[in-house]
Structure 1
Amino acid sequence: MRRYLLMLLMITVHVVLSASLSAAEPLWTGFVQSPWFEEQYQYLQPVPEVRAMIIAPRPEKIKPEHLNRVVLFTTPNGSSIEQTLGCAQKAGRDWHYAIQHIAAQHRQWQSLNERENLILVCLEAKGLSWPAWRSRHADHPRLIRDVIAAILKQIPLKDPRLTLACHSGGGSFLWGFLNGSDTIPSEVDRFVFLDANYSFSAADGHGKKFSDWLQGDKRRSLIVLAYDDRNVLFRGKKVVSPTGGTFRATQRMRDEFEKEVAFQESGAGDFKTATALEGRLRLVVHQNPENQILHTQVVGEMNGYLYGVTVNTPEAQEKLPGPPRSYTRWIQPEPFTMSEQEASP
């Protein structure tokens, strides 16, 4: 009897495994399987001095009837792709791996989003500084378009919508993209600046480009998350200049947009929010009453990426950013690493 039950169990396991294997589809060309989640990923170098990583669901998880969305997230100053995507903390591991967790936040959004096939792309500039990369390349508006075109060529999905998101100096990539033409391409339907809007400039036409783009389609959103950094001290000195920082940049944005639209204000906890165009233009500012450095906290500890990509969508949880982290189950135990095969051009 025991032998019969054992044989029955083995047959059942074989049937289940066979069904699972037959349901799996081949990975996309050049992609490898994640060891932790039902994901595939690929490293690539779309242009010189730019490194990228694409993370996508396994092919059998892609629903042909769903909208396709590619999120381009540019790394902050001082962080690599792997650190920006994040992993679990452990003794001796660099602290940068545990402050943003963009991959884990993206996975949580993916678990909630039954409307879209979500692809995450993380972009890193040589030297871990997008402002420095732009200063080295006078033709950066063209290069940025080339980066995006090369990435989309590697993603075999039709007509994806684009979300451009960033943290810190990663905003420089988005401003370079904006400077590349008089209008914002129609496939872009969301911008997310996570304490990254330092370089907003009305003189460069940023306000007009955003206004025209926002008013051209009610499915478009511009989300800005910042904090009051005017009086924050580090080693006894202010961290921003008398005219710098994202608090002042956000006010410049508001001043420019108010030439065309009216804002509504609301407050909850430490946040003040100004919205226009039915909430599609949203400036969210932490008032920072204790004058802390919240530059990374607004992204990781406060679930800032999740807020930025989900607000104004069915997945929005109708609450402002804030702790605790809601995505801990999606944090991978070890960092992504680039194998020798993946590193080769």
Structure 2
Amino acid sequence: MLFKPSSRKIFITGITLCLQVLSATLYAQIDDSYLATFKERRVEISSIIPQSRVVVNFPSKGRLKKSRETRVILYALPNGNTIEQTEGLFFEDIENREKEWRYDIQHIAAQVRFLRERDKRFNYIVVYLESTTKAWTSHASAHSNSPALYNFLLDSIQKFIAYQLPGIAPLPRQRLILASHSGGGRFVFNLIKGMDSIPPSIERIAFLDSNYGYETELHGDKLYKWIQAPPDRFLGVISYVDTTVILDGKRVVSSKGGTGYRAHLMARDLKESGVEMALISDTTFISYKGRGVEVKIKENPSGKIYHTVLVERNGLVHMVLSGSRLENRDYSFWGNRCYSKYIINSPER
């Protein structure tokens, strides 16, 4: 059994000794020159919990404002992806671009750079959460105490950020956004499972086609109570009808196992609990929207795979800004990439 070390010990072993600036890799090409271009600082923390990698991306100190509260986006990675692939990169060489296609399907770093430029209400820090098993689903299965582990990881990251930026991002001035894609949703759901209630420090929860693991009995009441409590909270879900997808002659998900079905279930549970939502439907999306919640489900009569496209087409940007005065300003969900010029090596820079 894994015993949780004391907070003092984890601070020393998990942060001070294991803190390191990531070096460039052959394909990621994330080095000091690129970080300087975007005025960022990129730090890795290892060994906070078993089989995990954490990378924290800070804007430069010159871009951090004491007058602003700090939004910390914790992004739980999809199955099969590394942090570097999730951050994103443009390859000029076509052969490399085709070979390393995972670098061009999320572009979370560029989407966060767009947010930093457009949303001057907050400082933005993004934290990438990777399981070294390449899947939070298998990580959770391997660790029976994963709810406690994930809460400990979250607590350690918050304390690390407060330690790094004591005058700018102390714990009371951190606003957390729990975001996830694909199997990263398992991290978020197990995190919630380990909480008596979702704390007020969590401002937003964003499921980017990652809500497979939603269960009414485990999560419904906690999400409802969290949405209802002041100050304003926001739950965002983007999914698609994946039950129509056929791959190698078989359905990729069962009739009740996909994100589209689970999104309808989440919306139904919230409505039955008392959350008022309008139902908006067209040929592209079915949307449930109300105070503190937006659930979008992509229609899919032709059985296409939209799993990563939901992220690529400004998915994270929309989940962070939806419901605010900046919603759809200088971007549109499901439109062209609003963040292209913020991609490393982008020809649009």
Name the TM-score, length of structure 2 as normaliser. Answer: 0.83
1:297 equivalenced with 2:309 (yes/no)? yes
Deviations 1:276-316 (CA, angstroms, capped at 9, x unpaired): 3x2x111111112322000001111x211111111112321
2:72 corresponds to: 70
1:36–1:332 Cα contact (<8 Å) kept:
no
1:314 corresponds to: 325
How far apart in 2 are the matches of 1:268 and 1:311?
Answer: 19
How far apart in 1 are the matches of 2:287 and 2:320?
Answer: 16
Aligned length: 302
Identify unmatched segments of 5+ residues in structure 1.
Answer: 1-28, 335-345
Quote how far apart the aligned CAs of 1:266 are.
1.3
What one-letter code is carried by the residue in structure 1 that aligns with 2:336?
P
1:270–1:289 Cα contact (<8 Å) kept:
no
Deviations 1:7-37 (CA, angstroms, capped at 9, x unpaired): xxxxxxxxxxxxxxxxxxxxxx965852431
Which protein has the larger Cα radius of gyration, Structure 1 or Structure 2? 1
1:68–1:161 Cα contact (<8 Å) kept:
yes
2:14 corresponds to: none
Deviations 1:192-250 (CA, angstroms, capped at 9, x unpaired): 0000001111122x110011111002420000000111111112211112321001111
1:181 corresponds to: 195
What one-letter code is carried by the residue in structure 2 that aligns with 1:263?
M
What one-letter code is carried by the residue in structure 2 that aligns with 1:275?
K
Select 2:300's aligned residue among 279, 288, 296. 288
How far apart in 2 are the matches of 1:114 and 1:269?
Answer: 35
Q: Which moved more, 1:305-314 or 1:146-155?
A: 146-155
2:244–2:300 Cα contact (<8 Å) kept:
no
1:228–1:287 Cα contact (<8 Å) kept:
yes
1:227 equivalenced with 2:240 (yes/no)? yes
1:199 equivalenced with 2:213 (yes/no)? yes
How far apart in 2 are the matches of 1:224 and 1:38?
Answer: 31
Select 1:237's aligned residue among 243, 247, 250. 250
- After superposition, the Cα gap between the structure-2 partners of 1:228 and 1:320, relative to the gap in structure 1 and judged at 3 Å, is farther
How far apart in 2 are the matches of 1:253 and 1:148?
Answer: 24
How far apart in 2 are the matches of 1:251 and 1:82?
Answer: 33
Select 1:113's aligned residue among 111, 119, 126. 119
| RMSD, matched Cα | 1.7
How far apart in 2 are the matches of 1:114 and 1:263?
Answer: 29
1:332 equivalenced with 2:344 (yes/no)? yes
Deviations 1:113-141 (CA, angstroms, capped at 9, x unpaired): 11101000001002110010001111111
How far apart in 2 are the matches of 1:268 and 1:327?
Answer: 26
1:42–1:53 Cα contact (<8 Å) kept:
yes
What one-letter code is carried by the residue in structure 2 that aligns with 1:179?
K
Quote how far apart the aligned CAs of 1:320 are.
5.5
Deviations 1:78-137 (CA, angstroms, capped at 9, x unpaired): 101111111103422411000000110110011001110100000100211001000111
How far apart in 2 are the matches of 1:269 and 1:312?
Answer: 22
Quote how far apart the aligned CAs of 1:255 are.
2.2
Name the TM-score, length of structure 1 as normaliser. Answer: 0.84
> Equivalent pairs: percent with the same residue?
31
Select 1:248's aligned residue among 250, 261, 269. 261
- After superposition, the Cα gap between the structure-2 partners of 1:69 and 1:281, relative to the gap in structure 1 and judged at 3 Å, is same
1:161 equivalenced with 2:167 (yes/no)? no
Select 1:48's aligned residue among 50, 67, 71. 50
